[in-house]
Structure 1
Amino acid sequence: MRVLVTGGAGYIGSHAVRDLINSGHSVTVLDNLSKGHREAVDPRASFIVGNLSNQDLLIRTLHSHQIEAVIHFAGLIDVRESVHEPYKYYYTNLSLTLNLLYAMMKAGVKKIIYSSSAAVYGNPDINPIAEREHPEPITPYGRSKLMAETVIEDFGRAYGLSYIMLRYFNVAGASTDSILGEDHHPESHLIPRILHAANEGGVVEIFGTDYQTPDGTCIRDFIHVLDVARAHVLALNHLRPGIQEIYNIGSERGFSVKEVIAACEKATGKKISTIELKRRAGDPAILIANTQKIRKELKWMPLYPSIETIVQHSWHWHSTHPNGLEEPDDSAQIHH
């Protein structure tokens, strides 16, 4: 299938692009490189540097590359930043998604896979969390992702758009050959922050040690980036007229902050310094995915479920790329 991947120069997007091409799909990547890295784009993909705000570019690209489906990764992901700068998140994650959907309708492209987030669930009372749980996001980031989901659902009802929305839990890890890995600027995710501290002798902040969990720290569901990438390939193969679905992607296993730090210490062979701070407002004690729906309907299951494997792959990438990839283009606009 001929696929347009927005944000294909980013962390998850670049892994998915590689998997899509290896699976026989023809891929065009659109990314403005404000957060992504040109070096991360598979050389077998067509690559266009551009913004989702450019309606003419979107329609022209969809037509000229004879695109049959879109996988939409492009967006902003820093939960804490979204609280202080909500405009950026509603504009990028919501308005530009609407712009993309309008271009798709103009070009007659009626299939999309949307990169959503477990942040739409907010602070749920039930764990593991199934897709049927009522979403109640508690941050502008989570709300922007849920609003985009709602727009996609409305396009499905009005224009016959087929969609699969994938709600990720905590994505981590790197490709097994260490060519691709996680390199955000700034880095907000736990595992790379711990590994950076191991590399540079820094200190890892632990926000809250008084949760009702076995060791007092938050428990999260970590899923390997390769398993997330493979879910997109399976979703694309499943996507046909009339399909309108939402799926969680997670390991169904919870790991506490202290357990993740211990796994990083084991992988690196280094003692990692920590500092215990007060809880952050809105941080749930436990977030674990129920993924029975995608396992049953798409025959997906995680191939790398252990935190040890996730951390080992991530550490190998970080230790072989101590300076990361090339710097993102700061002159690019904030939106992809």
Structure 2
Amino acid sequence: MKLLVTGGAGYIGSATVVALVAAGHEVEVLDDLSTGFVDNVPEGAVLHELPLSAAAQVVDSTFDAVLHFAAKISVGESVRKPDLYFDVNVRGTMTLLDSMRANDVKRLIFSSTGSMYADAGLEPLAEDSPIDPQNPYAASKSIVDTMLPWECQAHGLGAVSLRYFNAAGASGHLGERHTPETHLIPMVLDVAAGKRAEFLLFGDDYPTPDGTSVRDYIHIEDLASAHVLALEAAEPGKHKVYNLGNGRGFSIREVVDAVREVTGHPVPTRVAPRREGDPVASVASAEKARTELGWRQAKPELRDIIADAWAFHRSRT
């Protein structure tokens, strides 16, 4: 297939581009490089350095499908700048859909999020679990997931929304390079590497086994493989939704302990008050993706996820 990958120079997008090229697809990337990197785009893929708003300059009738990663993703920033998040994540997607419709491109894989679900404690979240976004980032993704069934019904689009939980790990030279870094594992690795003095545990009184909140971490290579499979699952006129997660939750303390084990370095921690809006837990039920897509994880173990992230972290210092 000839594929367009928006945001394909970013963390998850680039890992997926690598997997798509390896699978024999012809891949072009649309990325403004505001958070992506030229060296993330592999040989064999064509890069268009343009914003999502300029999708019409690239999308044409020769494309078989679009994989849409381009978005603003920082929860904290979204609270401060909700207008920016609705502009890029919602309006930008509408612009992309306009271009696809005008050029009869009928297949879309959308990078969605498991953070839109209501807090269910330690219970795994399925695709039909209640939706209750707690920040503009999650709300913007939920709005797109609400739009897509109507687009499919009216215009024959075949769309698949993949709701990620916590993407983590690294794949060779592809790893997390956010500025500022807000994701848990690279922040803990910064402490292990001596780049941060300590790691703050936001709350140790949650109703969990060790008192810290629980999250589901999934390796980016496993996320990438799901996108390759999702291309075949897209059906004209239908919107399908799949959760992508480990299916196992790991507490913050478990992550810290695993980083200590993998790196061999101390990780000083300090307990701070809970952050408003942080759920007790967020754990995926990914059984639907396993059953319908035939998806299987190659790296489900937390230690392996952290080891790959640590190897990338050391390569950057």
1:78 aligns with 2:74: yes
> Which residue number in structure 1 is paired with residue 10 of structure 2?
10
Choose which of 175, 180, 203 in structure 1 pairs with 2:174: 180
* 8 A contact 1:123–1:138 mirrored in 2: no
1:137 aligns with 2:133: yes
Aligned-pair CA distance for 1:217 = 0.2
> Which residue number in structure 2 is paired with residue 36 of structure 1?
36
Structure 2: runs of 5 or more not aligned: none
1:250-307 per-residue CA deviation (whole Å, 9 max, x = no partner) reads 0101100010011111111100111210000111111110011110000102111110
> Which residue number in structure 2 is paired with residue 150 of structure 1?
146
1:162-213 per-residue CA deviation (whole Å, 9 max, x = no partner) reads 10000000010011xx221111111110001111121134111110000011
After superposition, where does 1:80-229 map in structure 2 within 5 Å?
Answer: 80-124=76-120, 127-175=123-171, 178-202=172-196, 203-229=198-224
1:200-234 per-residue CA deviation (whole Å, 9 max, x = no partner) reads 34111110000011110000010001000000000
1:310 aligns with 2:302: no
Choose which of 57, 64, 86 in structure 2 pairs with 1:68: 64
CA RMSD of aligned residues (A): 1.2
* d(CA) in 1 for partners of 2:28, 2:267: 41
Q: Specify the code of the residue in structure 2 equivalent to 1:39.
A: D
Aligned residue pairs total: 316
* 8 A contact 2:153–2:237 mirrored in 1: no
* d(CA) in 2 for partners of 1:216, 1:126: 12
> Which residue number in structure 1 is paired with residue 251 of structure 2?
256
Aligned-pair CA distance for 1:59 = 2.9
Q: Specify the code of the residue in structure 2 equivalent to 1:7.
A: G
* d(CA) in 2 for partners of 1:212, 1:239: 39
DSSP-derived class of the 2:59 partner: helix
* Runs of 4+ deviating beyond 4 Å: none
* 8 A contact 1:82–1:140 mirrored in 2: yes
Aligned-pair CA distance for 1:244 = 2.0
Structure 1: runs of 5 or more not aligned: 323-336
Q: Specify the code of the residue in structure 2 equivalent to 1:221.
A: D
* d(CA) in 1 for partners of 2:220, 2:82: 27
* d(CA) in 2 for partners of 1:317, 1:18: 17
* Identity percentage of aligned residues: 43
* 8 A contact 2:3–2:67 mirrored in 1: yes
Q: Specify the code of the residue in structure 2 equivalent to 1:34.
A: S
* d(CA) in 2 for partners of 1:59, 1:84: 30
* d(CA) in 2 for partners of 1:293, 1:279: 33
1:236 aligns with 2:221: no
Aligned-pair CA distance for 1:126 = 6.8
Q: Specify the code of the residue in structure 2 equivalent to 1:186.
A: P
Choose which of 227, 250, 263 in structure 2 pairs with 1:268: 263
* 8 A contact 2:10–2:40 mirrored in 1: yes
TM-score (norm 2): 0.97
> Which residue number in structure 2 is paired with residue 280 of structure 1?
275
Aligned-pair CA distance for 1:136 = 1.0
TM-score (norm 1): 0.92
* 8 A contact 1:97–1:148 mirrored in 2: yes
* d(CA) in 1 for partners of 2:207, 2:141: 28
Greater RCO structure (CA 8 Å; 6+ sep): 1
